[in-house]
Amino acid sequence: MTSWRQPGDGGNADPVTPSTAQHAQRQGRAAARNIAASLGIGQPRPCRHHDLGLVADFGGTQAVAKVLGIPLAGPAAKAVARAAITCTRCPAQPAKVRVAADWFFASTRPRASSSSTTSGPPTRS
């Protein structure tokens, strides 16, 4: 199994992996496969990390993304963030299409505004 090091560990230049629960699950599956291989079931394989990028949605049109090494910000990053969420979290193709259509149509219409009118500043009773 591959030896994974965190930044600052020194030694040779082994790959650095993200410290996320998602990646820990991937490493756990690889470890389980390799333990089974040591017992004669299957072949051992190293755990490899393939980083496709990151997205962060801050609400409104504010977002940042770095996809395949290309940095994005603003509405372009928002579109990438929403597409990433749709593609990875919706369980079935019809749901993905419905959510994508809802987001598209919501982005083409002006937001509904709500106003609350008051007769003046609040007063104490």
74: left (phi over 0), alpha (psi -120 to 50) or beta: left
pLDDT less than 70: residues of the chain: 1-16, 111-123, 125
The whole-number pLDDT of residue 31 equals 92
Model confidence over 50-60: pLDDT tens digits? 777 788 888 88
Give yes or no: residues 31 and 61 share one domain: no
The pLDDT, as a whole number, for residue 23 is: 79
Total number of domains in the chain: 2
The pLDDT score that the predictor gives to residue 3 is 46
Tokens 């770095």, residue? 66
Residues 28 and 70 placed together within one structural domain of the fold: no
Is residue 82 in a domain? yes
Burial class from Cβ neighbours inside 10 Å (0-12, 13-18, 19+) for residue 78 reads: buried
Please give the model's pTM, rounded to 2 decimal places: 0.44
Per-residue model confidence (pLDDT) at position 56: 84
Regarding whether 74 and 102 lie in a shared domain, the answer is yes
Residue 118 lies in a domain: no
Write the pLDDT tens digit of every residue in 96-111. Answer: 888 878 877 777 777 6
Structure tokens at 14: 């082994």
Question: Does the residue 120 lie in any domain?
Answer: no
pLDDT, position 4: 47
Question: Six-digit token pair at 84?
Answer: 């990433």
